[in-house]
Structure formats: structure tokens, C-alpha cells
Amino acid sequence: MADRLHAIVGDGITALAFLETCLGQGFRHVTVIGRNASQLGRGIASAKGAEGAPWRYAYLLNSPADDIDPEFAAWLERRWDKIAETMAGRQPDWLSAAQPLVAAGDIYGVNAPREFYGDYMEARARDVIKSLSAEGTKVTLLNDVVVGLSQGTDMITLSTQTGQQLDVHSADIAPGGPDTMRFEGDDGPFSAPSVFGYEDRIAEHITAGAEIFCIGGNAAMLDVLRLCQSLIPDERLKFAFCAPEGEIPPPLVPRLPRKQTVPSLTQGHETAESFLSEIRREIEAAEAAGDERREIRAGFRSYFLETPLDQFIADTSEASKVSKVLRFWLRGGTRDTIFDMRRLVGAGAVRILKGRVLRVEATSTGAAIHIQDHDGSVSVEPTGFVVNCAGAGPGSTFDPLTADLISQKLIGLADGGGLAIGANCRLGGGEIRYLSPAVTKIGRETVAMPLYDAHMLRSYVSRSAKS
């Protein structure tokens, strides 16, 4: 092992989790190549915000801190005074929203600003690098983008955007999820294709008093609401969103003492329908017993991490139907923002439309959104400014390296969507590991709940190292 060279592609939490698995491996040199590798651990979700921007620290983690990682929750608690100082006087008033939890001694339960999670991950990366260098493993962080990968007999060659070539014995690839799906007209004078990176443009319309209309009703839509709240008081807010289910996701509310639902499910199902009816029964029993969505979701997540879906239902195409439904049944979102959203719906400041957006049209004063409802009829909804928050879906594109690995047949396309990789996250002969939120199948296992979840990603990486 002593002479082995290893590379990690990516700079987010998955790349950092891969770096952690290098401890004790005796590599001579590990090179981490990411767009922003010098801030390893942040990735896209926990990027550092612009200094002085009103929306800096506005975007929150969707789950209580200890559901993301108990060690992060402890880190947050240790720094609470500093965090309270940073967050004082900001709009929306995060400290007031956190206050009931803080008063109950439950800092572990707050929805932390994602930038703080990035701070924690960066500090963690520094510690891991220190431990690796104490073991004699040199770590280099390279701000660059890998554009090609080829496998020779003994070595893997990575080529980068800046023209470097790196020969390594093994590599881990963590490039993040695919782009959000696009809609005709979503990047126009009154529309933006995403919230992230377009805040300045969206902010102009928010402060001018336009209605802000989100395509999609999940996490990114909740971020847009926080962006609006950071700029104008709630009394001036005009907000709308359209999603197929036409509902606000349930909030993930922590309670003390923490508990998790413990499902009891039988094995040997032949169809998704029979397994789903059992799961439905368990969810309803938990709800009847008073369990919160957080408890049910965390309980099922632990259960399926312990006992993968293929142990209940062997047919992979039936298993993929199960995971699609579970994604909806167990969905949940940021407590603070969903409480605000419910209040604002009650006050008439937020409208919710049910249906599928087809396209966006610019008008002389704003936008018109073409929406198809469940029986196929199309209506046209006028609004001020549209933000695409739809997330990954049909037509989304993968990053170029993933697209290349798919074309080399090192990564497959799973039944029912998403990426299929080998057991223990291995590709090809086994010297390459890969993991991203877009993965839905790992070896024989169809992932029961989506990997758009920091805890799940870290769990699968750590498991891939033990086997």
C-alpha cells in the first residue's frame, strides 16, 4: 500500500466522506480535485455566501442538526454564543424561530443555516488531513475540474480542465447530483433557471414588489421564500408556487426525548403494491400513536440503512416503484420555513397551485406560466417573476464526468430513473468508487429513500470502506 496513489474528485460532503475512508489505508499521496477543493466539505449545498448579502445565512438545512450528524449538532452547541451573535438582527428572524428549542435545551434540534454546516465540514476536512499527514499520507487539494478518466492495466489517468494529468492506482468520484430540469422560457427577463447564483437578479424583482412564483414545491422553493424574507417584510411579500401535489411538505419537528418510529415489515414481497400496503399500515400506525414526521422518516431511514430494500422485495423494478412512493410518503422539510409558509398562506400572501408547469412566457410586465392540471387541461397564470425550483427530473443533465462514465458503461442507468453503480459503490474492476445523490441502485440494492440526504451519503461511503 505504501506506494499507492489515490485521487478523489469533488469537494462536497461525499468527497470528504471518501477522504475519511483513506485513514489507515497507508496511501502515499491523496489528491482531491474539486472546483473548490480548498474549501473541501462545502460542495454546492453549504457554499460560503457573499459577504454582506442580506440572504447570507438565510438558507437552512432541511433537518434538525442531529439528524444530519450528531457531531455537527455538538459543534453547533459549543459555538452557540458566536452563532447567536452572527444571526442577531437578521431577517427572517432565525434566532426567534430557534428560541423554543434553545429554551428547551435542544440546540441539537435547530435547522442550522447551511453555511454553518459548511464551516463545520471544512473544519472536519482540516482535521482529517492532519490525521492523514500524521500517518504519513500527503494530501493535496487541487482547485480544478476533472474532464476525463481512463483506465489502464495498473493505473487510472485523470485529466483536468487546466491540462494536468494525474496517474493514480485508485479513485473516488463524488460529483454531486444532476442539473435541475429546465422549462422553456425559464431564463428570461422575468424568470431565472435556479435560485442559486441568481439571487441578485431575483432580489431586484422582490424589492420592486413583484409576485415571486416558484416552479416546484420542495427545498429550493423554501429557499426562495427565505430569500424574499431576507429582503422585504412579510407584510409586503407576494409569493406563489406550483407543484404536482400542490401541498407544502410536512415540517420535520424535533421533540425531546428523541425517538424514532420502529417499523415492522415482513420479507418476501413479490410486488411493490403488497410491500407498500405494509409500509402504509406502519406509517398510519405511527401517526395514530402520535409520531411526528421527523420520527417516522428518521425511523424508516435507519431501518432501511440496516435492512436494505432488496431483502424485502427481490424484483428490482418492483423495488424501484417502492422507492418512488416512499420519496413522497416520507418527505419533509425545514421546520422554520414551513411554519412561516403556513402562516403566510393563512394571511393570503402565498398561493399554491396544483399541476405541472409546461412553459414560461415573458409578458410586457412579468411572466405567464402555462400549467397543466391532472385532467390535462391547461391554464395560463400571470405572475411577476418565475424561479425554477423543480430540482432534478426528466431531461436533467449529468456533469460531464458522470456522462463520460455512463458512456464507458462504468455506471448504468437504473430501472425507474437514477444511476446504478456496483456493490460498495464500486465501478468496473473495483479500483474506482462513485457516489452522488443521483444514485438509486448500489449493487443489488435499490436505495429505499433518496440520497439527497447528507446522512445517507455519508453512511453509504463509510459502509463502502468496511467491506
Ligand X SMILES: Cc1cc2nc3c(=O)[nH]c(=O)nc-3n(C[C@H](O)[C@H](O)[C@H](O)COP(=O)(O)OP(=O)(O)OC[C@H]3O[C@@H](n4cnc5c(N)ncnc54)[C@H](O)[C@@H]3O)c2cc1C
Cβ of residue 426: shortest distance to ligand X, in angstroms?
17
Cβ of residue 374: shortest distance to ligand X, in angstroms?
28
β-sheet with 378-383: strand ranges across: 356-362, 367-372, 378-383
Nearer to ligand X, 94 or 452 (CB): 452
Taking the C-alpha atoms of residue 449 and residue 67, their distance in angstroms, rounded to an integer, is 15
Taking the C-alpha atoms of residue 416 and residue 294, their distance in angstroms, rounded to an integer, is 26
Largest distance between two CA atoms of the chain:
66
Cβ of residue 266: shortest distance to ligand X, in angstroms?
29
Taking the C-alpha atoms of residue 334 and residue 352, their distance in angstroms, rounded to an integer, is 18
Nearer to ligand X, 186 or 318 (CB): 186
Q: What is the per-residue burial (b if ≥16 Cβ within 10 Å, else e) of 29-50? A: ebbbbbbbbebbbbbebbbebe
Residue whose C-alpha cell is 493535496: 140
Taking the C-alpha atoms of residue 44 and residue 42, their distance in angstroms, rounded to an integer, is 7
CB 196 within 8 A of CB 44: yes
Nearer to ligand X, 106 or 223 (CB): 223
Nearer to ligand X, 45 or 360 (CB): 45
Nearer to ligand X, 117 or 213 (CB): 117
CB 340 within 8 A of CB 350: no
Residues that bind ligand X (CB under 6 A): 9-15, 33-36, 43-45, 61-63, 68, 145-146, 174-177, 196, 219, 399, 401, 436-437, 452-454, 457
Cβ of residue 417: shortest distance to ligand X, in angstroms?
16
Cβ of residue 290: shortest distance to ligand X, in angstroms?
25
Ordered DSSP codes for 342-391: HHHHHTTSEEEEESEEEEEEE-SSSEEEEEE-TTS-EEEEEESEEEE---
Cα separations in angstroms, 59 against 98, 106, 115, 138, 298:
14, 20, 8, 35, 22
Residue whose C-alpha cell is 482529517: 128
Nearer to ligand X, 34 or 251 (CB): 34
Nearer to ligand X, 269 or 293 (CB): 293
Cβ of residue 232: shortest distance to ligand X, in angstroms?
22
Cβ of residue 136: shortest distance to ligand X, in angstroms?
26
